[in-house]
Structure 1
Amino acid sequence: MNVKIINPFVESLISVIGTMAQLDATLGKASLKISTQAPGIVTGFIQLSGLTQRGSLAISFTQGAILLVFEKMLGDRPDGIDESTLDLAGEITNMVCGGAKQRLSANNYVFELTQPIILSGLGHTIDHPGPNAVITVPLALSEGIIFIEVSLDR
């Protein structure tokens, strides 16, 4: 997988978090993901498919990160992970993927999105389909980390 493919997803996530939650994120170093274990406690997952592309996107939030984003976007801070925080993870995943899809269309990447699947709990796994490499990038917030994982190839 071309590492530059992840840039539109990262840019979209930074835009969504900055615009919707008024939060700044510190970008970490991209790396190749080896295991299927999720780095966060809540993950939004979307499969991507097109005529010439196939892949997936996962956005995994630590508890501190999802609670902070929830508070900044909705004005209330839940005590822990609940249905509303899970729904928010799915909505953010959907927005990020839509923004990346728009950015990638300029490079002839055209794909359809599935509905986000929400995975949660300590130690849950993320199974990116296909043989493509999975690139992960951490984005640090003041109270946690959001990990974005992308697997997309032609």
Structure 2
Amino acid sequence: MDASIINPFVEATMEVTRTMANMESSVGKPQLKDGTNAPGSVTGFIKLSSNTHNGSLALSFEQSAILAVYERMLGEKQDEIDDSVLDLAGEITNMVCGGAKQRLSLSGYDFNLTSPSILSGLDHHIEHSGSGPVLTLPLQLEEGKMYIEVYLGR
């Protein structure tokens, strides 16, 4: 996968968590995903398309991470995942994709994005939009992890 396309998603994710939730994050070792199991309890999912690439992005949050982000962003403590937490995961996914789209346009890429869909539950699966490799990047937040998954095909 082309780092010039992947890096804007990482940068946008780190920017959103830093500016919106006042949380620093560090990126772990990227790896190719094996299977469709989601690494987190809540996942925001968006399909991407351009004249040169088609793909999808998933942001999957461990429960502790999304609840901490929720509290930081909205100022309310939440003990369990409910509809408001799911909505926030979708909004974060939307913000990350918007930020990545803006960065990619500076490099000449023009991606169209779908509205985010939300997947949840301990055993949910992420079905990316192609049969090629899916890159997974873990981000360690102050409380828990979130995972960026990107699939891009031609």
- Normalising TM by the smaller chain, what interval? over 0.9
Q: Which moved more, 1:104-113 or 1:81-90?
A: 104-113
| Contiguous gaps of at least 5 residues in structure 1 | none
Partner of residue 55, structure 2: 55
Partner of residue 76, structure 1: 76
Q: Which amino acid aligns with 1:117?
A: S
Residue pair 2:33, 2:134 contacting (<8 A) in 1 also: yes
Partner of residue 111, structure 2: 111
Secondary structure class of the residue paired with 1:86: helix
| Overall identity of the aligned pairs, in % | 60
Q: Does 1:147 align with 2:147?
A: yes
Residue pair 1:53, 1:110 contacting (<8 A) in 2 also: no
Secondary structure class of the residue paired with 1:17: helix
Residue pair 2:130, 2:153 contacting (<8 A) in 1 also: no
Alpha-carbon shift at residue 62 of structure 1 (Å)? 0.2
Residue pair 2:58, 2:150 contacting (<8 A) in 1 also: yes
For residues 115 and 123 of structure 1, the distance between their equivalents in structure 2, rounded to whole angstroms, comes to 23
Compute the TM-score of the two structures, normalised by the length of structure 2: 0.96
For residues 147 and 4 of structure 1, the distance between their equivalents in structure 2, rounded to whole angstroms, comes to 19
Alpha-carbon shift at residue 52 of structure 1 (Å)? 1.9
Secondary structure class of the residue paired with 1:65: helix
Partner of residue 134, structure 1: 134
For residues 5 and 49 of structure 1, the distance between their equivalents in structure 2, rounded to whole angstroms, comes to 13
Alpha-carbon shift at residue 122 of structure 1 (Å)? 0.3
Alpha-carbon shift at residue 153 of structure 1 (Å)? 3.4
Partner of residue 94, structure 2: 94
Q: Per-residue displacement from partner, 1:45-102 (whole Å, max 9, x unpaired)?
A: 0001122210000000000000000000000111200000000000000000010011
Residue pair 1:57, 1:148 contacting (<8 A) in 2 also: yes
Superposition misfits of 4+ residues, deviation over 3 angstroms:
none
Alpha-carbon shift at residue 108 of structure 1 (Å)? 2.2
Q: Which amino acid aligns with 1:31?
A: Q
Q: CA RMSD in A?
A: 1.0
Alpha-carbon shift at residue 4 of structure 1 (Å)? 3.9
Secondary structure class of the residue paired with 2:45: strand
Partner of residue 34, structure 2: 34
Secondary structure class of the residue paired with 1:137: strand
| Contiguous gaps of at least 5 residues in structure 2 | none
Residue pair 2:135, 2:150 contacting (<8 A) in 1 also: yes
